[in-house]
Structure 1
Amino acid sequence: MSQKHPVIAVTGSSGAGTTFVKRAFEHIFFREKITAAVVEGDSFHSVTRTEFKQRSAVETNFSHFGPEANDFHSLEALFKSYGETGSGKKRYYLHNDAEAAHHQKRLAAMGVTCAAGSGEFTPWEDTEQNTDILFYEGLHGLVKDITPDQKYGGYDVAKYVDLGIGVVPSVNLEWIQKISRDHAERGYSPEATVDTIMRRMPDYINHITPQFSRTHINFQRVPTVDTSNPFIARDIPTADESFVIIRFADPKRFNVDFPFLLSMIHDSFMSRRNSIVVPGGKMVLAMELILNPIIHDMIESRNKA
């Protein structure tokens, strides 16, 4: 971990809503005048879209959740390097033709040739200079090789994270969100998305879920409507149809003022000594009340260091 060059990681599985949390951080960074080096988790996949399709067609449980389809060692190296020097190597995964054209033009202006297209990666490059913080958003911000024989090389990404945030909806809600998103944004049928969920279940259990025991704060949205069969649900439960459970691994570490939070967030309550429950519609307010002071203190410590 680093006081001078802090690393923040927001992690959650596909469809969990990490992008929503990313926007909350962007608002905080803007208000606090913080310059962040932003890293997308997709950029640390180890296979292109074409290679993924080829391998998943013959490897039963090959998925983006597991180490076989990711470069966790490069992600670990980035976090370690940034914490030590304020710099490291990153790249971009090109989701579509528009992104490919944008990065080709950007790199050309820097004198770098990029022939990568949609579903491929840009060349490795240094993170931006003179940034205050590294901000990661994706699937594997706190991943660690926990196999007994360190089967995958003994990586430990979580070791270098100063603030780890987990975004963890109840699993049925997560599936409802993914099925809906994949259909609306990618044109996948519900049946195709269910096949994906089934294929990557071993990696979900072994590599995604354990991360939420290493996070410093978890935000878990729990619906108050029936989601018992997520595979036939037609609507995603709204924020007002849910509660958010916010769990702190160690409240003392961040000087969490629970009485203040309870007074500021109407209808919130404590469920355990380290957990507060807030109405789903107050999630953004809760995030800002909790995270803004933490990030402010991190920057103050950085400046002093």
Structure 2
Amino acid sequence: MFYEGLHGGVKTDNADVAGQVDLLVGVVPSVNIEWIQKIYRDTSERPYTPEQVTEIILDRMQDYVEFITPQFDNTHINFHRIPLVDTSNPFSGQAVPTPEDSLVVTTVRIDGVDLQAVADKLPAEAMAFLQNDTTLVYKGSFMVDVMDIMLTPIIDQLMTNK
């Protein structure tokens, strides 16, 4: 099963979705990129003004703090996009940073993933390096490549074990 959404890794006193999955992958931009993306999407694809989107963000802040961000503690692998351009005021109407204007910090919390081998399979222009034993950093435009290299053997193994 593939699930994309806000609550795939939720774990509360009343629900444990995270405990039901074989592989939980988080894909999250830094919070300012997330807000820039939301403002752009809601004003271009939905009938909202930037001010209305800002109000929605503020109204949802408690849920964001209590339910959304804690889920990333439950993931097996996180892909976290970090901007390399100024996003200090996400409410200023700026463009969403491109993958080329970002780095991705990928953290792995499961055994069997050789991050050095993943880095070695990337071209030099990915500028990939291991920050530590569980964290690989690389240019944002290579995130899909890293997902393919890293996740394909994991998914193959999950399918073999089913």
Q: TM-score scaled to structure 2, two decimals?
A: 0.94
2:87 matches 1:201: no
CA distance in 1, matches of 2:89, 2:65: 20
Letter paired with 1:144: K
**For residue 3 of structure 1, what is the aligned residue in structure 2?**
none
- 1:234 & 1:187 partners in 2: Cα distance? 19
User: 5+ residue gaps in structure 2?
Assistant: none
Separation of aligned partners in 2, 1:164 and 1:258: 18
Query: 1:268–1:279: 8 Å Cα contact kept in structure 2?
Result: yes
Equivalent residue for 1:268? Answer: 128
Secondary structure of 1:198 counterpart: helix
CA distance in 2 between partners of 1:236 and 1:248 (Å) = 26
The answer (yes or no) to whether the contact 1:164–1:217 under 8 Å persists in 2 is yes
* 1:215 equivalenced with 2:72 (yes/no): no
Query: SS of the residue aligned with 2:3?
Result: strand
- Mapping 1:1-305, distance limit 5 Å: 134-145=1-12, 150=13, 154-250=14-110, 252=111, 255-265=112-122, 266=124, 267-302=127-162
Q: Deviations over 1:182-220 (max 9, x none)?
A: 111113111010000000100110011110000000000
Aligned-partner residue type, residue 256 of structure 1: V
Structure 1 unpaired stretches of 5+: 1-133
- Displacement of 1:227: 0.3
Structure 1 distance, partners of 2:50, 2:100, is 25
> In the TM superposition, what is the alpha-carbon distance from 1:234 to its structure 2 partner?
2.1
Poorly superposed stretches of 4+, deviation over 4 Å: none
- Measured after TM superposition, the shift of residue 137 of structure 1 is 1.2
Question: Highest CA radius of gyration, 1 or 2?
Answer: 1
- Structure 2 residue matching 1:168: 3-state secondary structure: strand
Q: Name the Cα RMSD after superposition.
A: 1.0
SS at match of 2:29: coil
SS state at 1:237 partner: coil
SS in structure 2 at match of 1:294: helix
In 2, distance between residues paired with 1:280 and 1:258? 16
Q: Distance in 2 between matches of 1:182 and 1:191?
A: 11
Preserved CA contact (<8 Å) 1:227 1:233: no
User: Is the Cα–Cα contact under 8 Å of residues 173 and 227 in structure 1 kept in the other structure?
Assistant: yes
* Whole-Å separation in 1 of the counterparts to 2:38 and 2:133: 32
